[in-house]
């Protein structure tokens, strides 16, 4: 489904991604964990080319994303239309929701199908209502984002991404801007998606959730993938000392305040 | 009829002429607003675009226009261009001068408005597969719009008042109508007081409309 | 005034001499565009009620147009920039009580004069001490920027200051206010404003200059000048000019045929 | 010497006259800034004060001044007041006109700056036993100061450019110096280009100083 | 020390204080509790005349504050100078700290003595350093508020109020804008003040703290004082049903997350 090969990315002098390679299969749920500043968000943003990459390849659904590396090692940009077309098949959910504040919940969800896919308003409305119902917000269709709680906003954001019928969903810490009591409702929506077979890459600090939903857990640190494995393996018998160190520091917090039960 | 130092009969006599001038002032202001906003929008987009030469050109434009008095710009357009073989009509010069000048200020206002929109909005729009221009039209500009209203209202009033300057290129708007009347009648007091009141009325009507618009938008937006 | 040496004005080369000259073009269109300072009462100004252009020049040009077989189209212009505007072809001629001066002759041509006028001194009624040009020395003297008055004052020595106004009414206002003691202005303009505020001002002393007024024409437009000169000469002979003068000045101040 | 359409020798010839005009422009701008800021400060304080009549007067002032073109205001001060018996010198009228006009805009800027300071600051100061004026001087204004800098910088540049309008009352500043030269020589191109560049230089120097000041303040403030 | 008699106050049509009377003796610590919107803050602000009162009396140290009620029931304003002088002897600490952001911690503490009391900078600096040390911030004297944590800012605010050598301290929810882990340090400073015999009126939602520090607890609801008593009495045997209701709703939260141990 998506394949990153030796992706490198610098901001000025700071190299944030130092050659990241990752392949995600159809239907697979990959959770990326790692300390702050390790490049998790940047990597996610490279996958749908919100950031351009300096070298390497990102292949989505057989097509290069944003830039393709030529035989001579040079990279060439992929053109605008093509890029938009690609992006429309990758859903992304941001930490800070980024709902469009001047549209209702329904308007937010309809926006992509109408503007990008050129669907009729009628059709888009049907789809949007369906999706809002699916994330449990059928009754909030006419509310503006400012009238919704954080958890509700994030669920609208998920519905908005799903409205494009994406083949891959990217989640960047979808619950870290939420009050603790609102985390559960969002995680439960994501868990349902996983159970329906959606391919997903999720960056999260919710270790309990990672354990429960991930097919594979990837630990990143300082711009590199340090270790990959099943949740059991990573959480119970991490091989790399840095992974152990990270997990022990995170889980200490985790044991004290368990993540809210979902589903 | 006398009101303090003002001869009301005389005022009634000159009113038609002043009203004609006021109509021209409104006409000029209207065109200046329309074209100024268009120019401002494009220049603002140029100044935040990824293309260096556009950014540079936009910067040059706003720098020069905002750094030189409008009076001088009008002179340049009227006489300078004529010497270069481009003879423009007064009305054209007036509209171009006011629009180009207003455009520079409006560009800065729009730019600030766009930049004040959270970066995440653009990212969310792009990640849905929108093109840059779709994202601008559907997501960024509608949000910027509301924040733009107050400074735009001010700028429009400034344009209305600046239109008084085109009297130097012999456009007979309100200001020059007043001057012509004083030439013919040699009675400055009534003429200038009336003209001043007319300006005040026009700018006040404008302010009121903008205030209303702002309030209406505030309500329709759900927060 | 500025002391730098005057150079001949930078008259732009007409597009191509081989093309039709201005007079041919004017005949073709049937329209002669005339620049005027529409604040210059009583030569050309706007009626406060109808906003129509009225004045000596307006009537005179109407007659001129008849004789030339063209319509006159008026183009108001800022007097400060009148020669500039003529040179930049905003209009074909200047018909605005323009005084023939040596300075102006360097930049443009004039038709034969149609009015004999001259500069006079205007003061607030009752002011004494202004009899000859000598009396202007040491005084602040007001006039309109770009007027023949400015040119004449520039040549005088010993003035305290020449105060240049955008229009003559401004200068007269300041005279009444008392900011300046005297305004130098041509006799017939003075006549107009004196009649508008009777009893406030008076013309004093001798006439400072004899100044013929004529139509301003670009140096290149020789053919146009010929045609206009001929028409003016006709109007001198058949009394048209005198008639118009009587209407506006109640006396005949027009030039006579040679 | 010729540079494109510009005759450099001629420019050198007219430069002294233009420079004299520019000096007057700077002088006018300086006075207008000083008095305009003083007026603006007092009017702003009046408009946020608890005394109704002061608020009303402040409102009237900003409404009228911002609603009428400066050109008209200058005419009124120069001729209108004189007819009422108050005869002022050109320079005085120019400074008063520019200050009074600038003051109205500066008042709005200062008022907005003060209102943008958290209400808690005033309460904290009052609860310590400060008087209202102590609280303003020690707590509110120093904080408003930094936020005021960018709009004040813009306003000062506007004042510099608006000083071109005093040419209508026969003040020979840069704009009128250019007009007079143009009248004497009939060579607009060199004159207006040079004058334009001089304005641009002055406004740019101003902008630069303000940018520096802003950056210096940003550093010295610990955040 | 301070005595409020039948204080009434309305905002527009809303009567916020409906006749509040309270007397606080020298050295006494009174804690005011009550639901949101019950008028606690408004009452506190009436005491140092940050709000004017509609009728009634506030007497501080024998002097009327802000307004005094004449025999005929009319109220007359107390003049500016006099008022400032009064306020300078009442310290107030706000929920949102309200430190002066353009002054250092030291500058904030020195401001009152220098500007209001007219002390020399030298003297004020000595006093300020002493007070900063007392609230445990000797090393932060040169920091600007933006460089301090919320708890540190609140302690500077307390030092600033103490610098005026007030006879009475008013605290309006001094910890409610703080992250939970920072609450303790501020409460411990207040407890020390109490133990030194400072007269204080404290509005707080920290019931554990109230219990520990209060000589007397006042329960307000809907603009009235409903019940007054010792902490033991109020918390264990509240007489009024509304008090019981309020405490039971608050203490449910309180028992789950105990307030941090201080001292
Ligand atoms: N646009 C940018 N310009 C400059 N530096 C950036 C930019 N975006 C990210 N960085 C830097 O790149 C590094 C990696 O950032 P990234 O956001 O990918 O980390 P992360 O793993 O997502 O961390 P977190 O868990 O805090 O979100 C950080 O040091 C960050 O400061
Ligand atoms: N300046 C004001 N203008 C209008 N209404 C006000 C004002 N200040 C307070 N109120 C209203 O007065 C009532 C009491 O407010 P107050 O702040 O005293 O309550 P409180 O007991 O402190 O509540 P909280 O625990 O939420 O701080 C509230 O309904 C509030 O909305
Ligand atoms: Mg991140
Ligand atoms: Mg409160």
pLDDT at D221: 53
- Atom 25 in ligand 2: residue holding the nearest Cα: E36
The torsion angle over the Cα atoms of residues B200, B202, B208 and B212, rounded to 10 degrees, is: -170
Overall average pLDDT of the D97-106 stretch:
95
CA distances from C63 to A170, B39, C238, C239, C247 (A): 85, 47, 12, 12, 14
pLDDT at E3: 93
Kindly state the DSSP code that residue C254 receives in the 8-state scheme.
B
Which partners does chain E have (≥3 C-beta pairs < 8 Å)? Answer: D
Residue D170 has pLDDT above 90, yes or no: no
Q: Which of E12, E15, E33, E40 to mutate to test the pocket of ligand 2 (most atoms within 8 A of CB)?
A: E40
Q: Which two tokens stand for residue E231?
A: 């902490």
Residues constituting chain E: 263
CB contact under 8 Å between E100 and D139, yes or no, is yes
Strand A216-221 to strand A29-33: parallel, antiparallel, or no bridges (unpaired)?
parallel
Overall average pLDDT of the D16-34 stretch:
95
- Return the top range by mean pLDDT from A165-179, A187-201, C8-22: A187-201
Confidence of residue E263 (pLDDT cuts 50, 70, 90): very low
Give CA angle at A60 (A54, A63), nearest 5°: 85
Question: Any idea which of D71-85, D88-102, E8-22 has the lowest mean pLDDT?
Answer: D71-85
Q: Which of E41, E46, E220 to mutate to test the pocket of ligand 2 (most atoms within 8 A of CB)?
A: E41
Find chain B residues with C-beta within 8 A of C168's C-beta.
Answer: 183
Query: Which ranges of chain C have pLDDT less than 50?
Result: 1-17
Assign 3-class secondary structure to chain D: CEECCEEHHHHHHHHHHHHHHHHHHHHHHHHHHHHHHHHHHHHHHHHHCCCHHHHHHHHHHHHHHHHCCHHHHHHHHHHHHHHCCCCCCHHHHHHHHHHHHHHHHHHHHHHHHHHCCCHHHHHHHHHCCCCHHHHHHHHHHHHHHHHHHHHHHHHHHHHHHHHHHHHHHCCCCHHHHHHHHHHHHCCHHHHHHHHHHHHHHHHHHHHHHHHHHHHHHHHHCCC
CB contact under 8 Å between B196 and D63, yes or no, is no
pLDDT at A132: 96
Confidence of residue A176 (pLDDT cuts 50, 70, 90): confident
* Fold topology of B8-218: MetI-like fold (1.10.3720)
Q: Over the stretch E212-224, which tens digit does the pLDDT of each residue have?
A: 899 999 999 999 9
pTM score: 0.80
pLDDT at E257: 37
CB contact under 8 Å between A98 and B124, yes or no, is yes
Q: Which of A8, A41, A50 to mutate to test the pocket of ligand 1 (most atoms within 8 A of CB)?
A: A41
Find chain A residues with C-beta within 8 A of B127's C-beta.
Answer: 48, 50, 87, 90-92
The more confident residue out of B114 and E65 is B114
- Atom 6 in ligand 1: residue holding the nearest Cα: A11
Q: Over the stretch A7-20, which tens digit does the pLDDT of each residue have?
A: 999 998 999 999 99
CB contact under 8 Å between A115 and B143, yes or no, is no
8 Å CB contact between B157 and B29:
no
Neighbouring CB atoms inside 10 A of C204's CB total: 17
Residue B1 has pLDDT above 80, yes or no: no
Nearest to C99 by CA among C62, C52, C152, C47: C152
Q: Kindly state the percentage of chain D with pLDDT values over 90.
A: 61
Strand E168-172 to strand E90-93: parallel, antiparallel, or no bridges (unpaired)?
parallel
CB contact under 8 Å between B161 and D63, yes or no, is no
A232-259 CB burial, b ≥16 within 10 A, e <16: eebbeebeeebbeebbeebeeebeeeeb
Contacts of C158 (CB under 8 A, 6+ apart): C137, C138
Which partners does chain A have (≥3 C-beta pairs < 8 Å)? Answer: B
pLDDT at B149: 85
Touch between chain B and chain D (3+ CB pairs, < 8 Å)? yes
CB contact under 8 Å between E98 and D139, yes or no, is no
pLDDT at C2: 40
Residue D25 has pLDDT above 90, yes or no: yes
Find chain C residues with C-beta within 8 A of B172's C-beta.
Answer: 76
The torsion angle over the Cα atoms of residues A119, A122, A123 and A125, rounded to 10 degrees, is: 110
**What is the rounded CA–CA span in Å between residue A106 and residue A120?**
14
What residue spans of C184-250 are helical by DSSP H?
187-196, 222-237, 240-249
Q: Which two tokens stand for residue B187?
A: 């009675």
* Owner of token pair 């041919």: C24
Q: Over the stretch B82-97, which tens digit does the pLDDT of each residue have?
A: 777 788 888 999 999 9
Residue A36 has pLDDT above 80, yes or no: yes
Neighbouring CB atoms inside 10 A of B1's CB total: 9
Longest dimension (CA), chain C: 61
8 Å CB contact between C119 and C156:
no
What residue spans of E52-172 are helical by DSSP H?
80-87, 105-111, 121-134, 150-162
Atom of ligand 2 nearest to the CA of E95: 27
- Atom 26 in ligand 1: residue holding the nearest Cα: A36
Does the beta carbon of B104 lie under 8 angstroms from any beta carbon of chain D? no
Is the CB of A16 within 6 Å of ligand 1? yes
pLDDT at C3: 41
Residue D30 has pLDDT above 90, yes or no: yes
Domains of chain E with bracketed CATH: 1-89+168-242 (3.40.50.300), 99-165 (no CATH)
Confidence of residue E253 (pLDDT cuts 50, 70, 90): very low
pLDDT at E76: 66
Pocket of ligand 2 (CB under 6 A): E 11, 16, 34, 36-42
Nearest to E148 by CA among E162, E131, E163, E136: E136
CA distances from C167 to A181, B179, C93, C172 (A): 78, 9, 21, 9
Find chain C residues with C-beta within 8 A of D189's C-beta.
Answer: 10
Strand A168-172 to strand A199-203: parallel, antiparallel, or no bridges (unpaired)?
parallel
Overall average pLDDT of the E176-193 stretch:
84
Q: Over the stretch E47-81, which tens digit does the pLDDT of each residue have?
A: 988 998 888 888 998 888 866 666 676 666 766 78
**What mean pLDDT, rounded, does chain A reach?**
88
């Amino acid at each position: 489904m998506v394949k990153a090969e030796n992706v490198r990315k610098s901001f000025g002098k700071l190299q944030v991604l130092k050659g990241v390679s990752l392949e995600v299969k159809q239907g697979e749920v990959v959770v990326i964990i790692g300390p702050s500043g390790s490049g998790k968000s940047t990597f996610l943003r490279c996958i749908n080319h919100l950031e351009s990459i300096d070298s390497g390849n990102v292949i989505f659904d057989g097509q290069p994303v944003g830039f393709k590396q030529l035989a001579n090692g040079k990279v060439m940009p992929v053109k605008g239309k093509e890029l938009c077309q690609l992006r429309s098949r990758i859903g992304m959910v941001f930490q800070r929701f980024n709902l469009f504040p001047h549209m209702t919940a329904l308007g937010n969800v309809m926006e992509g199908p109408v503007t990008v896919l050129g669907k009729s308003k009628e059709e888009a409305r049907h789809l949007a209502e369906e999706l809002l119902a699916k994330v449990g917000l059928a009754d909030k269709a006419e509310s503006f984002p400012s009238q919704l709680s954080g958890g509700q906003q994030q669920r609208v954001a998920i519905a908005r991404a799903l409205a494009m019928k994406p083949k891959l969903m990217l989640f960047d810490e979808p619950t870290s801007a939420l009050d603790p009591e609102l985390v559960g409702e969002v995680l439960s929506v994501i868990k349902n998606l996983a159970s329906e077979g959606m391919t997903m890459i999720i960056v999260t600090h919710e270790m309990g959730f990672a354990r429960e939903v991930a097919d594979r857990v990837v630990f990143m640190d300082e711009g590199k993938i340090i270790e990959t494995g099943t949740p059991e393996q990573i959480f119970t018998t991490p091989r790399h000392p840095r992974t152990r160190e990270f997990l022990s520091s995170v889980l200490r917090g985790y044991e004290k305040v368990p993540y809210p039960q979902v589903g | 009829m006398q009101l303090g130092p003002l001869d009301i009969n005389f005022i009634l006599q000159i009113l038609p002429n002043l009203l004609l001038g006021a109509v021209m002032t409104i006409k000029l202001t209207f065109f200046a607003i329309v074209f100024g906003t268009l120019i401002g929008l494009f220049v603002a987009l140029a100044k935040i675009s990824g293309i260096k030469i556009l950014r540079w050109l936009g910067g040059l434009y706003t720098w020069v226009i905002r750094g030189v008095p409008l009076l001088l710009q009008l002179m340049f357009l009227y006489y300078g261009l004529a010497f270069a073989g481009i003879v423009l009509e007064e009305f054209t010069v007036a509209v171009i001068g006011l629009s180009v000048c207003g455009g520079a200020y409006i560009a800065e206002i729009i730019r600030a408005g766009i930049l004040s929109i959270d970066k995440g909005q653009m990212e969310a729009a792009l990640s849905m597969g929108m093109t840059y221009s779709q994202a601008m039209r559907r997501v960024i500009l509608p949000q910027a719009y509301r924040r733009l209203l107050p400074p735009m209202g001010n700028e429009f009033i400034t344009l209305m008042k600046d239109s008084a300057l085109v009297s130097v290129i012999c456009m007979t708007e309100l200001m020059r109508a007043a001057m012509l009347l004083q030439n013919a009648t040699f009675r400055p007091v009534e003429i200038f007081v009336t003209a001043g009141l007319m300006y005040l009325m026009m700018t006040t009507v404008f302010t009121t409309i903008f205030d209303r618009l702002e309030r209406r938008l505030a309500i329709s937006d759900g927060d | 005034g500025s002391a730098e040496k005057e150079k001949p004005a930078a008259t732009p080369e007409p597009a191509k001499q081989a093309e039709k000259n201005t007079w041919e073009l004017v005949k073709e269109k049937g329209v002669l565009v005339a620049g005027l300072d529409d604040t210059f009462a009583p030569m050309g100004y706007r009626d406060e009620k109808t906003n129509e252009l009225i004045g000596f020049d307006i009537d005179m040009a109407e007659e001129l147009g008849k004789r030339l077989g063209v319509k006159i189209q008026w183009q108001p212009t800022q007097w400060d920039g009148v020669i500039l505007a003529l040179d930049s072809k905003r209009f074909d001629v200047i018909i605005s009580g323009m005084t023939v001066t040596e300075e102006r002759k360097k930049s443009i041509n004039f038709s034969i004069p149609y009015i004999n006028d001259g500069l006079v001194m205007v003061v607030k009624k009752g002011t004494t001490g202004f009899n000859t040009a000598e009396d202007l020395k040491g005084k602040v003297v007001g006039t309109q920027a770009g007027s023949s008055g400015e040119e004449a004052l520039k040549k005088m020595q010993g003035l305290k200051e020449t105060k240049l106004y955008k229009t003559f009414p401004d200068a007269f206002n300041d005279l009444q206010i008392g900011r300046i003691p005297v305004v130098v202005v041509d006799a017939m303009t003075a006549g107009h404003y004196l009649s508008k505020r009777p009893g406030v001002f008076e013309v004093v002393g001798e006439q400072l200059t004899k100044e013929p007024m004529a139509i301003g024409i670009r140096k290149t437009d020789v053919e146009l000048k010929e045609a206009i000169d001929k028409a003016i000469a006709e109007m001198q002979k058949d009394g048209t000019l005198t008639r118009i003068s009587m209407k506006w000045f109640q006396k005949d101040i027009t030039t006579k045929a040679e």
